[in-house]
Structure 1
Amino acid sequence: MADQQKISTIWLLRYLKPVKGRIILLLILLLGSTGLQLMNPQVIQRFIDAASGGGGMSELLELAALFLVLAVVNQSLGVAVTYLGSDVSWRTTNRLRGDLLKHCLRLDMRFHNQKTPGEMIERVDGDVSNISNFFAMFIVQVIGSFVLLAGILGFMYTVSVPIAAVMTAFTLLSVLAMTIIRNVGVQSSSKDREASAALFSLIEERIAGIEDVQANGQVPYVMNRFYRAMRAVFLKGRKAWMLRVVPWNMTVSLFTLAVTAVMLLGVRSYMQGEISLGMLYLIYQYTQMLNDPIERLGDQVQEFQKAKSGMLRSRELLSQRTEILDGEEEWLPDGALSLEFEQVSFSYSKDKPVLQNISFSLQPGERLGIIGRTGSGKSSLSRALLRLYNLDSGVIRIGGVDITKLALPALYRRVGMVTQDVQLFDGTLRDNLTLFNENVTDASIMETIGQLGLRPWISAQPEGLDTHLSSGGSSLSAGEAQLFALARVFLAKPSLIVLDEPSSRLDAATEAMLQAGVNQLLRHSTGIIIAHRLATLEQVDKIMVVGDGRQLEFGSREELAANPDSHYARLLQSGREEELA
């Protein structure tokens, strides 16, 4: 436990180091604010003693004016401390959010297949928000509370040792109790966050599939699951809250005993003439002030438990390691790239192979058409090529270089892919086409979209390339989105292009237009076209037929078409494209 605490502290300090200047300024302001809090009751004590002792009006007015000045300055310092504390917390935790998101984006697809978007939002933002809340007030509340406690107790020892001793005992017992039980709610708080993540995952999943939910009358089922998830959030959240307030309940009980003892001793001293009426007020006021930092410390113990569960979950996420190890090779030949699969086998899970002993090669500039039934492994070939997963065995070479030796940025610069699921982002048409790359010129964009037949559609938009697209692409038809994705890939000018079902959402006329554009754009690239429609493959050089993860045949398209015994020729003769569905 001690080692874990030490690691957490070191991990925390790494994020606090860049804002150490602001933390020092915050401490200075905090000391000034605490000092003023200690002075104000003493001004009131002098005012009461002066008034009860027959002091002059001028003295009373001076004390009143001093009190007002100190109150205004203290309030101003309080605002500055709160602002600076929040600034420190957001600067610190935003770095953590950035690190978490960057780390998640670098993890392999096996990890992402196990996590829903809703869960990842909760891990990257929800957990860190708990840490942020703790950071925002930790310095202000915890350090400020201890400084205020020290000031109150130090002054009280100059007034009355017995009263100061009672207040000291209350303080030490409260701090000791909170220290002992500070971790009592950490595990429950972690489970509370897990339940919240599950709820967000459910909501995200069902909203994403709203068409299927409504069309199949599944709204009652979804609501039933939602209520069960909400119940789990409520029950686990209630348990976590009840455990987190244990320190506060203990301090309230201790304070009740302490204030009773202090007031009895104070009244006794006043009755015996040992202290003045103003001093009795000061003792009472300091006793009340003593409770405030203790309560704030109790609140921070609760925040600490939530923050610690967030820190543990964040550290656990950052400890995840990708299976995809980056290579060091940056060089690839210029121009179109050759491609070679040598005895490639791959599986998403060990007991279910997806690709088995796939071997073929393409020369630079050649085009390969891949056909096969749904689930035969066609799309898995592209995922293996782009290193979204590790191979079980075998080697893939691009431009004669083993892809495991290549640096991933070098691989992605030269290989482009259009997937069946088109992702569009909240931004302008230009941003979506260039993926926010400001180096791509409008002239290059218009030339590419013209080849794909999108120029009339973009010209018809009210603001052209500056037209705003909503996230998810709801403003585009399925066919337009697919053409859009093709334009995006070709603007990057890759040397090897993978088109996964490029015409699956297009009508015959649009497909013909697309085919002409693809033929022109593939002139300087090696191409792989995965398709169900045989018409899509009329311009390829090679054909590979796959089935059940195996390579059934590979060869020249013309030779396979001329061979009546080939799988490809039988498909052409039958004209029944549904056999591939």
Structure 2
Amino acid sequence: MPPNKQVSMLWLLRYLVPVKGRIAVLLLILLTTTACQLVNPQIIQRFIDTAASQGEVASLLGLAGLFLVIAAFNQLFTVCLSYLGNDVAWRATNRLRADLLRHCLRLDMRFHNLKTPGVMIERIDGDVTGMSNFFAMFIVQIVGSFVLLAGILGFMFVHHWPIAVVMAAFTVLSVGVMAAIRNLGVASSQAEREASASLFGLIEERLAGIEDVQAGGSVPYVMNRFHRAMRAVFLKGRRAWMLRVVPWNATVVLFTAAVTIVLWMGVRFYAAGELSLGTLYLIFQYTQMLNDPIEQLGNQMQEFQKAKSGLRRSRELLSAQSEIADGTETKLPDGALGVQFEHVTFSYNKGTPVLHDVSFALKPGERLGIVGRTGSGKSSVSRLLLRLYNIDSGTIRVGGVDIRTLRLEALYRRVGMVTQEVQLFDGTLRDNLTLFDSGVTDEAIMETTGRLGLRKWIEGLPEGLDTHLQAGGTSLSAGEAQLFALTRVFLTQPSLVILDEPSSRLDAATEAALQEAVNQLLRQCTGIVIAHRLSTLEKVDNMLVLGEGRVLEFGSREDLARDPSSHYAALLKADRQEELA
């Protein structure tokens, strides 16, 4: 979807199509309510004229009763309008929220690295809420206001056309002024939303790092950042509000002038005997009623500016394109998959490569250990295998197929990865192990967890697999969370498994048990193990040693261990010395 600054509200109207039936009911109630509003002043007119001419009491009581019945129905219809208006708006904009979230989930990691969760919440929910507030009253107040205006002016032309001409001129001028300056506050409202998103991003970021903030004594610094962000929200919000109320202020001035002229004309015609007292009241009442739809249009003009700024930001978000283009190939060879890196160069930021001309090959069923200092590019290798990022140059093949030609779904179905950070979701233990895949049986879960040493722990829980876990993994120890992540991957029965620091969060005893389980699980697939602890790599076939993004050496683990001049042998020696110390 190409970016378009001149956004048309018609783009959002397509979300109203699925609720067109409710909109039809809403319009019917709206017309009924408008009719009630127009009829009641005429009942009062007849009541006044009847009373002034010494009419029958029965007629007056009848008119009073009719007025009360219509007023009661009008209030009932008003409540229905408000309910249906909000229902239609939220049903429509919730589809937009879903589209925004779905689109963001498909964007590449470069995009998500630049956007904090707080910012994304504001973009997906906050901006759409502004649109929802507008559409909640769009039909009720915008359409209703024009219908009411047309009715008032129509009746006035029937009763007294000179005054009706003045009222019509006021109406046309007010609507014209609001239309001419309808976009006055859109840019400022957009800046206000951006400032609000930055504030939420700051709060989310600091809360996520609360331990470091408190331990480092950084609370004053964080509060200073917070106050500056809040000041930006206040200043931009004030400017946006001042610009948004300009249309409303303009209509107030015009209405004051119109009322003065209409009342002067009405009193003059009444004094001349051309109008009855009831008709004079009717003119006054319709003049006051005329202000209501004009004022509603002014208020909705403010909501329109906020909605349009949110719409621009939503269109901007939907126009963001992932740099990861999906391929067309869907088939990979059966069984374990081989891996080839051919002269791969990659950088997170242009001009600063983290991998330089990396080449190596791993046969199906082999196990590769990757070691190197922090920042050497070990984790980047795993991210590239899953196409979380695009490479700058070179080729990566899985099962002999260039991963750029593969559909991402086909790649993810056959390749699994356990990262250093384990994400647990708010849900049952079963949901967290299967990632909400109902096709995985409880028998498969218990068999896999049995290999990893978790089965007894699960069976000891009062609710077993139905035990509820909290988001973030606070209900599990670090080791349990790591074992859960391993279970999650192996339940998908992958043909290539990447383990990024699988034992980094485990004690020595748990690591030994885990290593045996991993050895069993890797028998049916190719494995890549990234580790700092060399003991984790005792069962791998080949070693890849990285340094500053370059291949320092690649070869058989046993051969490299026997070669005293190899980098791997030096690492083994340093590791033994550390254990002895």
**What's the TM-score bracket when you normalise by the shorter of the two chains?**
over 0.9
Cα deviation per residue 1:201-244 (whole Å; 9 max; x = unaligned)? 00000000000001111111111111111111111101100110
- Which amino acid is the alignment partner of residue 100 of structure 1? L
CA contact (8 A) 2:7 2:312 kept: no
Structure 2 unaligned regions, length at least 5? none
Alignment correspondent of 2:221:
221
- Which amino acid is the alignment partner of residue 464 of structure 1? G
| Cα 1:5–1:73 shift into 2, 3 Å | farther
CA contact (8 A) 2:369 2:544 kept: yes
- Which amino acid is the alignment partner of residue 56 of structure 1? E
- Which amino acid is the alignment partner of residue 367 of structure 2? R
Alignment correspondent of 2:411:
411
| Cα 1:227–1:5 shift into 2, 3 Å | closer
Cα deviation per residue 1:269-307 (whole Å; 9 max; x = unaligned)? 222222222211111111110000000000011001001
1:529 and 2:521 are equivalent in the alignment: no
Instruction: Pick which of 197-206 and 456-465 moved more.
Output: 456-465
1:231 and 2:231 are equivalent in the alignment: yes
The SS at the match of 1:575 is: helix
CA contact (8 A) 1:45 1:282 kept: yes
Displacement, 1:72?
Answer: 2.1
Alignment correspondent of 2:161:
161
Alignment correspondent of 1:554:
554
Displacement, 1:324?
Answer: 0.5
CA contact (8 A) 2:9 2:308 kept: no
- Which amino acid is the alignment partner of residue 484 of structure 2? F
Structure 1 unaligned regions, length at least 5? none
| Cα 1:132–1:59 shift into 2, 3 Å | same
Displacement, 1:551?
Answer: 0.8
Alignment correspondent of 1:541:
541
Alignment correspondent of 2:268:
268
Alignment correspondent of 1:461:
461
> Which whole-Å CA distance do the structure 2 matches of 1:552 and 1:563 have between them?
14
Alignment correspondent of 2:383:
383
Alignment correspondent of 1:483:
483
Alignment correspondent of 1:207:
207
Q: In the TM superposition, what are the counterparts of 1:80-479 in structure 2 within 5 Å?
A: 80-479=80-479
Instruction: Pick which of 106-115 and 271-280 moved more.
Output: 271-280
TM superposition score normalised by structure 2? 0.97
TM superposition score normalised by structure 1? 0.97
> Which whole-Å CA distance do the structure 1 matches of 2:576 and 2:91 have between them?
61
| Cα 1:265–1:576 shift into 2, 3 Å | farther
1:61 and 2:61 are equivalent in the alignment: yes
The SS at the match of 2:217 is: coil
- Which amino acid is the alignment partner of residue 490 of structure 1? F
Cα deviation per residue 1:290-341 (whole Å; 9 max; x = unaligned)? 0000000000110010011011111111111111000011111122111111
Instruction: Pick which of 4-13 and 22-31 moved more.
Output: 4-13
> Which whole-Å CA distance do the structure 1 matches of 2:6 and 2:535 have between them?
65
Cα deviation per residue 1:25-66 (whole Å; 9 max; x = unaligned)? 222221111111101111111112222222222212221221
> Which whole-Å CA distance do the structure 2 matches of 1:568 and 1:6 have between them?
60
| Cα 1:146–1:578 shift into 2, 3 Å | farther
Task: State the number of aligned residues.
Answer: 577
Displacement, 1:460?
Answer: 3.1
Displacement, 1:578?
Answer: 7.2
> Which whole-Å CA distance do the structure 2 matches of 1:497 and 1:516 have between them?
16
> Which whole-Å CA distance do the structure 2 matches of 1:246 and 1:42 have between them?
34
- Which amino acid is the alignment partner of residue 249 of structure 2? N
Displacement, 1:576?
Answer: 5.5
RMSD of the alignment, in Å?
Answer: 1.5
Instruction: Pick which of 528-537 and 38-47 moved more.
Output: 38-47
The SS at the match of 1:8 is: coil
Displacement, 1:577?
Answer: 8.2
Cα deviation per residue 1:525-574 (whole Å; 9 max; x = unaligned)? 11100000000001111111111101111111111111222111122123
> Which whole-Å CA distance do the structure 1 matches of 2:333 and 2:169 have between them?
77
> Which whole-Å CA distance do the structure 2 matches of 1:82 and 1:20 have between them?
17
Displacement, 1:7?
Answer: 5.2
Alignment correspondent of 2:19:
19
Displacement, 1:392?
Answer: 0.8
| Cα 1:4–1:264 shift into 2, 3 Å | farther
| Cα 1:393–1:506 shift into 2, 3 Å | same
| Cα 1:578–1:322 shift into 2, 3 Å | farther
Instruction: Pick which of 338-347 and 199-208 moved more.
Output: 338-347
Identity among equivalent positions (%) equals 71
Displacement, 1:6?
Answer: 7.2
